[in-house]
Amino acid sequence: MPAIKQVDVIHVALPTRREHKWTGLTEPIGGYILVRMHSDDGVVGWGEAPALKDWGGDYGRYFGESPGTTKFVVENYLTPSVIGCEVGNIADLHQRMDAIVKGYPYAKAAMDIAAYDLAGRTVGVPVWQLLGGKVRDRIPVTHSIGLLDIDLAVEECKKVADEGIKTIKIKVGVDPDRDVEIVSRVRRAVGDAMDICVDANCGYATPRDAVRIIRKMEPFRLKYAEQPVEGIDRLAEVTRVLETPVMADESAWYARDVLEIFEKKAADIVSIYTTKPGGLYGAMEVAAAARAAKFLCNVNGSVETGVGNLANIHLAAAAIPATLSCVVPVSTPAESQSGNVGGIYYIDDLIAEPFVLEDGCVVVPDGPGFGIDVDEAKIEKYLDTSLQ
Ligand SMILES: [Mg+2]
C-alpha cells in the first residue's frame, strides 16, 4: 500500500442561506477547516473540521476548537506525525495522532475523514464498506430550525413539510415562553404526521426548569428532547421524570461517555457525530457502545459543508443503531439548488455533485471513497485567508 505523503490545510467560509443559530453559538456557521491528504501514489482524500470555539462537552471537559487552533494543530503536530503512515491503516493513524497531542478531536476528525476517503479511493471501495458495511441505503433527514423569529420558522416548517421532510428539530433553550409557543405553532402548521424534536443545547438552567418547560410542549407530541441541561447527572434527573425521550448530545462525545450515560440512566437516545470522538473510527466505537447499551441513535453534526457531511452520510449508513432521522444537511452546490430549503443551510457547496434527496431521505453514494468529488474551483472561491 502507498503511504501518506502530504496534508494541506484550507480555511473556507461558506455563505449561509439564512442565519442559523443555537443556544451558545457566537459565530456564523460555515467558517471551517478542510484538509486535503495526498498519498505517494498521487491519490487525494478530503476531510473537514467544522471547528466551533463555543461548542464543547459538559463543563468544558471537551473544549471548543476554532479554525485557528485546528489549523495550528493539524499543521504543527498531526501532519508531521502521520507522514509515512500506510494508507488504510486508520488504527496506526490514530495512535500516531494521539501520541503527539492529547485531545483536539475536531482536528483529528478532519485527518481521519480524509484518511478514510484516501483509503477508499486507493482501493476502489466506498467508505461505508471500510466501516464494516451498510445497513441502510437512504438516510432520513431532520431539518433543523435555528433560533429564529417564530413567523419565519413556521413558514420554513410548512415549506420543508411540502418538500417531503418528515422530521423537524427546533432549537430552543433561551426563553421558555417562546419555546413552548414555537412548538405549538409549528405543530399546528405542519399537522400531526411530522415528527418534531427540540434541542436546548444545555440552555435550561436546572433540571426542574427543563421538566416544567418540556411538559408544556408534550401536548404537541415531541419525538425527543435533546440535551435540555448540561451534565450527565443533571440529564439523568430530567430523564427519570419526563415522558418524552431525552437525547444526550453535548454529554456524549466518546464511547466512554456512552458507558457513563448507560450507568447513570441519563438518556434514552445518543447522538453520534463524526467529529466529537475524533473521526469515523471513534464514531463507530460510539455506535458499538450505544448498540450494546440498546440506546437509540441518530447521526447529528454542526452543519458541515458537503465535504464533512459525506462522512456523516457514510457513518449513518454503517452504524447499526442509527435508526432515527439524522440532522445532516442536504449538501447542494448553487448550480443544483432549486429553491427547496429542506436540509439546505448554505447557498452553495464545495462538492461537485448534489446529494440526492428522495422522499425526505439522502441516498448514500456508492462510489470509491465518499463517492462524490470535491470541486476545487469552489474551494478557491470560498477560501478564507484571514488566518494566513
Ligand atoms: Mg444538539
Question: 134 and 104 in one domain?
Answer: no
Specify the CATH number for the domain of residue 32: 3.30.390.10
Query: Does 386 fall in a domain?
Result: no
**How many Å lie between the centroid of ligand 1 and the Cα of residue 47?**
22
Question: 141 and 33 in one domain?
Answer: no
Main-chain phi, psi angles of 58, to 5 degrees: -50, 135
Query: Does 370 fall in a domain?
Result: no
pLDDT (0 to 100) of residue 140: 98
Question: 177 and 51 in one domain?
Answer: no
Specify the CATH number for the domain of residue 143: 3.20.20.120
User: pLDDT tens track of the chain, all 388 residues?
Assistant: 999 999 999 999 999 998 889 888 888 899 999 999 999 999 999 999 999 999 999 998 999 999 999 999 999 999 999 999 999 999 999 999 999 999 999 999 999 999 999 999 999 999 999 999 999 999 999 999 999 999 999 999 999 999 999 999 999 999 999 999 999 999 999 999 999 999 999 999 999 999 999 999 999 999 999 999 999 999 999 999 999 999 999 999 999 999 999 999 999 999 999 999 999 999 999 999 999 999 999 999 999 999 999 999 999 999 999 999 999 999 999 999 999 999 999 999 999 999 999 999 999 999 999 999 999 999 999 999 998 7
Question: 155 and 119 in one domain?
Answer: no
Query: Does 284 fall in a domain?
Result: yes
Query: Rounded to whole angstroms, how far apart are CA atoms 7 and 73?
Result: 12
Query: In the chain, which ranges are E strands?
Result: 4-13, 31-39, 44-49, 138-140, 142-145, 167-171, 195-199, 222-226, 246-248, 269-272, 296-299, 357-358, 361-363
**How many Å lie between the centroid of ligand 1 and the Cα of residue 55?**
10
Query: Rounded to whole angstroms, how far apart are CA atoms 267 and 258?
Result: 9
**How many Å lie between the centroid of ligand 1 and the Cα of residue 346?**
19
**How many Å lie between the centroid of ligand 1 and the Cα of residue 201?**
6
pLDDT (0 to 100) of residue 331: 98
What is the identity of the amino acid at 334?
A: A
Query: Does 158 fall in a domain?
Result: yes
**How many Å lie between the centroid of ligand 1 and the Cα of residue 54?**
13
Main-chain phi, psi angles of 45, to 5 degrees: -125, 150
**How many Å lie between the centroid of ligand 1 and the Cα of residue 334?**
27
Both ends of the chain: CA-CA distance in Å?
Answer: 34
Query: Rounded to whole angstroms, how far apart are CA atoms 273 and 110?
Result: 12
Question: 208 and 118 in one domain?
Answer: no
**How many Å lie between the centroid of ligand 1 and the Cα of residue 86?**
35
Query: Does 231 fall in a domain?
Result: yes
**How many Å lie between the centroid of ligand 1 and the Cα of residue 22?**
9
**How many Å lie between the centroid of ligand 1 and the Cα of residue 6?**
34
**How many Å lie between the centroid of ligand 1 and the Cα of residue 184?**
20
Question: 236 and 106 in one domain?
Answer: no
Query: Does 326 fall in a domain?
Result: yes
SS3 state at 16: strand
Question: 47 and 175 in one domain?
Answer: no
Question: 73 and 159 in one domain?
Answer: no
Q: In what order do the strands lie in the sheet with 246-248?
A: 142-145, 167-171, 195-199, 222-226, 246-248, 269-272, 296-299
Query: Does 104 fall in a domain?
Result: yes
Task: Read off the C-alpha cell for 351.
Answer: 462538492
Distance of CA 79 to the CA centre of its chain: 24
**How many Å lie between the centroid of ligand 1 and the Cα of residue 231?**
14
**How many Å lie between the centroid of ligand 1 and the Cα of residue 250?**
7
Query: Does 173 fall in a domain?
Result: yes
CA distances (Å), 85 to each of 40, 97, 128, 258, 370, in order? Answer: 11, 11, 21, 30, 20
Query: Rounded to whole angstroms, how far apart are CA atoms 111 and 119?
Result: 12
What is the residue range of 112's domain? 4-124+376-381
**How many Å lie between the centroid of ligand 1 and the Cα of residue 249?**
5
Question: 148 and 117 in one domain?
Answer: no
Residue with cell 432521522: 325
**How many Å lie between the centroid of ligand 1 and the Cα of residue 247?**
8
CA distances (Å), 58 to each of 64, 248, 277, in order? Answer: 11, 11, 14
Question: 177 and 99 in one domain?
Answer: no
Question: 19 and 141 in one domain?
Answer: no
**How many Å lie between the centroid of ligand 1 and the Cα of residue 382?**
27
Question: 192 and 45 in one domain?
Answer: no
**How many Å lie between the centroid of ligand 1 and the Cα of residue 21?**
12
As for how many domains the chain has, the answer is: 2
Residue with cell 473556507: 12
Considering Cα of 287, then 122, then 33, then 302, what sign does the dihedral take?
negative
What is the identity of the amino acid at 328?
A: V
